[in-house]
Structure 1
Amino acid sequence: MASADQVSLTAPHAPHARAVEAFNRVLPEIKHAVIASRHGWDVHEPKMWSRAAGLSDEKLTTFTVEDDLVEIRTGVVSYGTILFGKVRIPAVNDELGEGFIHVRIHDPPNQGEEDVMFHSIFTMEGKRDADGHPHLWRAIQVKDEPLEFFNE
């Protein structure tokens, strides 16, 4: 699997038609992963999905690719293209502002969108303060959180 130093990502930009098709191909998997991640983290570290506290799974996953995929970055690797997407969660708009998830998918070469695969959702695990203590767990990002390479 590629690492951040091996992949040159494009600058963040609005999604083009092919990216919309690719993300739509795996949308059910993305929604399933959001729900599974939230349920799993709620057992171990409820802070991770705290911005979705009180939302049903259905409400949390009301996003669509056409309306809510707001930014992408791509990187070509020997085994295809990695696509990173910033997806707005319409049900989250709190004191931190709008909420977004960062999603990674993979598009192998030469098959169109038929073989696009969901890879993962970014979770910020225990970001540390100046003293080295973990203080921030966040699956729902703020608008200004840059869409960066991740391997989760």
Structure 2
Amino acid sequence: MASEEQLNFNEAHKPNDNGVEAFNVILPTIKGEILKSRTHWDLHEPKMWSRAQGISDKALVTFTIEEDLVAVRNAATSYGTILLGKIRLPAVNDEEGEGYVHVRIHDPPNRGREDVIFHSLFTDEGNRDEDGRPTTWRAIQTADYPLEFFNE
């Protein structure tokens, strides 16, 4: 796996047809991973998905790639393309505005779209105290939070 320093991501932009297709291939996986992450973090640190408090699982993952994939970035590697996507969660719209998840996927070379792989969701354990422990948790980002490489 390449590190951020080894990757040359393009700027965030509106997804083209190839990006939409790649994310659509694994849409069920993305939705399942969102729910799995929410369940996991609710047991360990409920603040991570707090912006979704009171929203049902079904409502949380009611989004489409065509309508809600608002930005992508990609970088080529020797083993394919890494794509980052910013997906709007229509059910989340609170005092911070609309909510988004950041997703990382991989599209290996030379096999079409059937082998697109889900890698991860961005869960931000942002600020840390003097002992290195996180003091903020955020799985749902704001519209202006930058879509940057993450390795989780």
TM-score normalised by structure 1 residue count: 0.96
SS of 2:33's equivalent in the other structure is helix
SS of 1:67's equivalent in the other structure is helix
Q: How big is each residue's C-alpha offset from its partner over 1:109-132, in whole Å with a ceiling of 9 and x where there is no partner?
A: 011111111111000014237997
Question: Cα 1:110–1:131, aligned 2, differ >3 Å: closer, same or farther?
Answer: same
SS of 1:124's equivalent in the other structure is coil
CA RMSD after TM alignment: 1.5
SS of 2:75's equivalent in the other structure is strand
Q: How big is each residue's C-alpha offset from its partner over 1:43-70, in whole Å with a ceiling of 9 and x where there is no partner?
A: 0000000000011110000011000000
SS of 1:37's equivalent in the other structure is helix
CA distance in 1, matches of 2:100, 2:127: 18
List gaps (5 residues or longer) in structure 1.
none
Higher strand share: 1
Partner of 1:61: 61
List gaps (5 residues or longer) in structure 2.
none
TM-score normalised by structure 2 residue count: 0.96
Partner of 1:94: 94
Measure how far apart 1:2 and its partner are: 1.0
Partner of 1:31: 31
Letter in 1 for 2:16: H
Q: How many residues align?
A: 152
Identity of aligned residues (%): 63
Letter in 1 for 2:33: A
CA distance in 1, matches of 2:69, 2:129: 31
